[in-house]
Amino acid sequence: MNVVRKHVRRMHPYVPGEQPKERGLVKLNTNENPYPPSPKVLAAVKQSVDQRLRLYPDPKANKLRAQLASLHGVEPENVIVGNGSDELLALAARAFVEPGRDCVQYFTPSYSLYRVLADIHNAKRNEVSLLDDFAMPTVAQLRKGKNWDFKAALTYVTTPNAPSGRGYTTAELDAFCSAHRGVVLLDEAYVDFAHEHAMGLVVKHPHVLVSRTFSKAYSLCFQRIGYFVGSVELIAGLDKIRDSYNVNGLGQIAAQATLRELPFYRSNFGKIIRFREDVAAQLAKLGFQTLPSQTNFILTKAPRFKACTWLKKLRERKILVRWFKDPRVEDFLRITIGNEKEMQTLFRAVKAILRG
């Protein structure tokens, strides 16, 4: 007897980057922030570990939503908080897409979870390739290509793009959103490392949602906090179907404390952005071709060996980077920008591998 639904049996699950058990590895594979949270955030969490743990957290994350609303110049009703932005990306499929009938659409390559979410939901999928340099096709190009569905129920856009790191301008995203009839979800997981953000588009377009996370720029992956900003109508639809206590209490406290410490984090983004350019320049001297990035990682083509061989050789030297077996990016390694010490370890390993 097979009790698992047919489409679930057929689908491939999401494969997260390796979270190693062994110690002493240099972890440049999942775009975590190399710097710890602010000491005040750590203190706020530690001070909250007391008898309160027996109580349920605020089901609506009201304090956090109020802070986020004030940060973005919207009302709390325009904000929903999730157990990481991944939870909300999944909720979007459940709220806006009719299984078996409607279409979930996205560019390739982009965040590989979108495909899995479409499959879990048994939605139709429309995958359209980004241009050769990972630029987004213009609306005119998409119309000409005839394979893009401007009425798709849900369109996910990773901006800046992952895994390429390429950034998109607000003007091009605005033109893109204007052309759509279904929900457009701008996934800005890495936007703090980019030149521009598109938060203003949620005010202009009632069918647009912007997704943000505390995982990358705010060193808070462990606490799982992400959020969407959008029109009251879309946010209310998502709010109806989320788990009552979807955001854990310590996560809410950590995120609230983070928002009181924004200057601390902004100086970290600056450091990572400057270092990213430095890393690309140093790798170029060793024969690596790195794409321009507006994120906290780089996509780079390594010399001499295939990218999958580099992955293994670096792993043997206790350095984890990411490689995707996808024709568009299989010649590249995706390397998270770590701290200075980690990147020095990477450079030493690369030089040793090149010496053979």
Ligand X SMILES: Cc1ncc(COP(=O)(O)O)c(C=O)c1O
For ligand X, the closer of residues 214 and 350 by Cβ is 214
Among positions 167, 226, 230, 237, the unique one binding ligand X when judged by CB under 6 A: 226
Backbone angles phi, psi at 63, to 5 degrees: -65, -45
* Least separation in angstroms between CB 176 and ligand X: 17
CA-based Rg of the chain, rounded to a whole angstrom?
Answer: 21
| Residue 49: both structure tokens together | 């570990």
Among positions 29, 33, 67, 85, the unique one binding ligand X when judged by CB under 6 A: 85
For ligand X, the closer of residues 92 and 189 by Cβ is 189
* Least separation in angstroms between CB 3 and ligand X: 29
* Least separation in angstroms between CB 194 and ligand X: 12
CA distances from 103 to 28, 117, 121, 215, 234 (A): 34, 12, 10, 28, 18
* Least separation in angstroms between CB 225 and ligand X: 7
For ligand X, the closer of residues 83 and 268 by Cβ is 83
For ligand X, the closer of residues 67 and 219 by Cβ is 219
Of 194-202, 213-221, 250-258, 259-267, the segment contacting ligand X by CB under 6 A is 213-221
Q: Is the dihedral of CA 105, 111, 115, 120 positive or negative?
A: negative
Tell whether residue 111 is a contact of ligand X (CB under 6 A).
yes
Give the residue at shortest CB distance from ligand X: 84
Instruction: With CB under 6 A as the rule, give the number of residues binding ligand X.
Output: 13
Among positions 34, 37, 76, 84, the unique one binding ligand X when judged by CB under 6 A: 84
| Residue 112: both structure tokens together | 């590989």
Of 81-89, 123-131, 135-143, 257-265, the segment contacting ligand X by CB under 6 A is 81-89
Chain positions 27 to 46 lying near ligand X, rule: CB under 6 A, are: 31
Q: Where are the beta strands (DSSP E) in the chain?
A: 26-27, 79-83, 103-108, 124-129, 154-158, 183-187, 208-213, 225-229, 289-290, 297-301, 319-320, 332-336
Rounded Cα distance, 183 and 207, in Å: 5
Chain positions 115 to 154 lying near ligand X, rule: CB under 6 A, are: none
Of 78-86, 200-208, 282-290, 300-308, the segment contacting ligand X by CB under 6 A is 78-86
Rounded Cα distance, 288 and 343, in Å: 15
DSSP state for residue 135 in the 8-state scheme: P
Of 20-28, 64-72, 80-88, 167-175, the segment contacting ligand X by CB under 6 A is 80-88
Contacts of 222 (CB under 8 A, 6+ apart): none
Rounded Cα distance, 230 and 207, in Å: 8
Q: What is the identity of the amino acid at 323?
A: W
Among positions 221, 259, 286, 308, the unique one binding ligand X when judged by CB under 6 A: 221
Among positions 37, 41, 67, 86, the unique one binding ligand X when judged by CB under 6 A: 86
Rounded Cα distance, 78 and 70, in Å: 11
For ligand X, the closer of residues 157 and 350 by Cβ is 157
| Residue 79: both structure tokens together | 């904000």
DSSP SS3 for 56: coil
Chain positions 148 to 207 lying near ligand X, rule: CB under 6 A, are: 158, 162, 187, 189
- H or E segment to which residue 124 belongs: strand 124-129
Among positions 38, 122, 164, 215, the unique one binding ligand X when judged by CB under 6 A: 215
Backbone angles phi, psi at 283, to 5 degrees: -65, -35
Query: Contact positions toward ligand X, by CB under 6 A?
Result: 31, 84-86, 111, 158, 162, 187, 189, 213, 215, 221, 226
